[in-house]
Copies of this chain bind each other. A is one copy, B any other.
Amino acid sequence: MDNENLNEFVLRINAREKTGRKEEVPEMWKHLGGRGLLARILLDEVPATCDPLGPYNKLIFAPGLLVGHRISSFDRISIGAKSPLTKGVKESNAGGTTGYQIVQLRIKSLIIEDQPLDPKFSILYLSKDMIRFDSYDEIQGKGIYESAKILTQIYGKKVAIALIGPGGEMQLRTAGICNLDKDLVPSRISARGGLGAVMGSKGLRAIIFDSEGCPQPTLADPETFRKTQQHYTSTLLAHPQTNVYREYGTSANVRMVNAFGALPTRNFSSGVFEGVEKISAEEMRKNLIARGEDCKTSHACMPGCVILSSNVYGDENGQSIVSPLEYETIGLLGPNLGVDNLDDIARMNEIINDIGLDTIDVGAALGVAARAGVFEFGDGQKAIQLLEEIRIGTPLGRILGNGAAITGEVYAIQQVPVVKGQAMSAYDPRAIKGTGVTYATSPQGADHTCGLTLRAKIDHLKPEGQVDVSKTVQINMAGYDTIGACIFTVFCVSTIPYVIKDFLNAKYGWWVDEDILQTLGRETLLMEHEFNKLAGFTKADDRLPEYMTLEPIAPHNTVFDVPGDEMDDIFKW
């Protein structure tokens, strides 16, 4: 992969022919990265009506615009395709080391095309000088954790790896793509929308990014960049929210969302959970400190991150079960299943990670299955058994592994918390209505990372004003996802918003203004919306499930009542 010159390029891989070629970056792609670039490439190259698991879909990797310089929490990788779950546009980003390494390799975008005729998987190895398809025999039949261990033994500890597990091999529609964190643990999952199934359909079990020997990417104005980075890092470190994240991680949300009456309990049939204290961040922190050994209450997923919102959850002997244990996973596998035991939740999380699936959609599927009588709410052990059925691909396992929407169809359940086929996260939209607007209208399907309104200064129970709140956050989030920044930087960046333009101008020699984040966000959303329209989406798809407009949720006994025609205006600006 001759990249003697330092320019970024597009790397195209043909999965059928097992070949690759470097191309110049088209002019229209240059100002984009991450989520925005994915939307552009999908619009330019993928027929919107194609079969997501067929030869016309493309699996695309694109680092955000500011990735590759160890700006704290700015090294995220975006992965995208037409989603086999939502059948629409899909971007899912993750931390870990893939983003950093792909930039060192000068890859502006990695585009994987077509699909092999024979079902044998392979491993794609990318380095400064080489594009190679390797045998996957060593990891055949193995879970994500063991696969990653074997791959780092083979390829060394300096590489980044994006890999799928048994779920992706089976092309289950909740399968994600896992990336190594800085400790080589494959826990940074581009989880949502079934991108792992797309990678499976391309016959790739893992992609190795080996940037050994690549020089650092250049900067147009290194001095300004360095100063901006110092200013940003010290502001981030000084922000009180950074401390909250470091001490409690995202699980600080457990008590807060329960207090909002929006903690999804027993398949979203209540917004409060009687066992909330047992699964709270405070309880978790106490446990982790007491258990010691592997346990960590704070941990970085990306090198250079100073927020450290991650954690390592260990068992009674302090042996690591899973890292990290996040709020959304706790919500969907805990209260949503009536389970109040953090150890059970952590074990479920570990199994789902090892199969390489999305904890949110699988958790939601289990909730629907419990509503259908497949198992009893509260029976964590049975839930663990069901997850093992997914791993071996029993019929029930395949149902659950394909997510909440299919589980609901198969069991004829009306109470299925999905939009565009994708499960809602651990925020009931009847009690946080702005987030309901995001779930309904985001081109990505239900996804809290596209515009969580939890902290907006608004009465979350009233329908008024929610569309505006959601719109603002959706635009911002699309911007963050385009530059590669973690959403946990929002608190800090919103106090010093000019740093984004300073970073971009210093890196690229641009002259952009402070509203660049929103400009990129708007452009991204419009492109995503357009792709979905071409794929056949209409305003009928921009709605919450009917039952959420009919069945009130405790304790506030509210239904979702933001008018549809107000929501339809969200992309008009």
Contact = CB atoms under 8 A, between A and B. Distances in A.
20 contacts: A49-B540, A50-B546, A51-B414, A51-B547, A54-B414, A54-B547, A54-B550, A55-B550, A56-B546, A170-B412, A171-B412, A201-B412, A395-B396, A398-B411, A399-B399, A406-B406, A406-B409, A536-B537, A536-B538, A536-B539
Q: Which residue, of A53, A84, A395, has the highest number of chain B Cβ atoms within 10 A?
A: A395
Contacts of A53: 412, 414
A536 B50 CA distance: 18
A545 interface: yes
A415 to B, nearest CB: 10
Contacts of A49: 540, 543, 546
Contacts of A399: 395, 398-399, 410
A398 B402 CA distance: 14
A535 B547 CA distance: 17
A172 B545 CA distance: 20
A173 interface: yes
A109 to B, nearest CB: 24
A230 interface: no
Contacts of A539: 536
B535 A540 contact: yes
Contacts of A550: 54-55
Query: By DSSP majority rule, is chain A's interface helix, strand, loop, or mixed?
Result: loop
B402 A409 contact: yes
Contact of A546 (B54, B84, B414, B547): B54
Interface residue tally on A, bucketed by range = 35 or more
A48 interface: yes
A276 interface: no
A546 B82 CA distance: 14
Contacts of A540: 48-49, 534-536
Given A49-B546, A395-B399, 17 more contacts: A49-B540, A51-B545, A53-B412, A53-B414, A56-B546, A172-B412, A197-B412, A201-B412, A394-B395, A398-B410, A398-B411, A402-B409, A406-B406, A406-B409, A406-B410, A410-B410, A536-B540
B51 A546 contact: yes
Interface in A21-51: 48-51
A173 B409 CA distance: 8
A171 to B, nearest CB: 4
A541 interface: yes
Interface string A362-400: 000000000000000000000000000000001110110
Q: How many copies does the complex hold?
A: 2
Interface in A152-185: 170-173
B395 A402 contact: no
A349 to B, nearest CB: 24
A534 B402 CA distance: 28
Contacts of A545: 51
A203 B451 CA distance: 40
A441 to B, nearest CB: 14
A521 to B, nearest CB: 26
A395 B389 CA distance: 12
Interface in A56-78: 56
Nearest to A393: B411
Contacts of A535: 540
A535 to B, nearest CB: 6
A322 to B, nearest CB: 27
A507 B156 CA distance: 86
Nearest to A396: B395
Contacts of A409: 173, 402, 406
A511 B406 CA distance: 51
B541 A536 contact: yes
Contacts of A50: 546
A440 to B, nearest CB: 12
A549 to B, nearest CB: 10
A529 to B, nearest CB: 14
Nearest to A536: B540
A83 to B, nearest CB: 13
Contacts of A84: 412
Contacts of A173: 409, 412
A130 B303 CA distance: 77
Contact of A395 (B395, B412, B536, B543): B395
A534 B541 CA distance: 11
A224 to B, nearest CB: 47
A48 B197 CA distance: 32
Nearest to A546: B51
A207 B546 CA distance: 28
Interface in A195-223: 197, 201
A487 to B, nearest CB: 30
A497 to B, nearest CB: 38
A379 B411 CA distance: 27
A404 to B, nearest CB: 13
Nearest to A545: B51
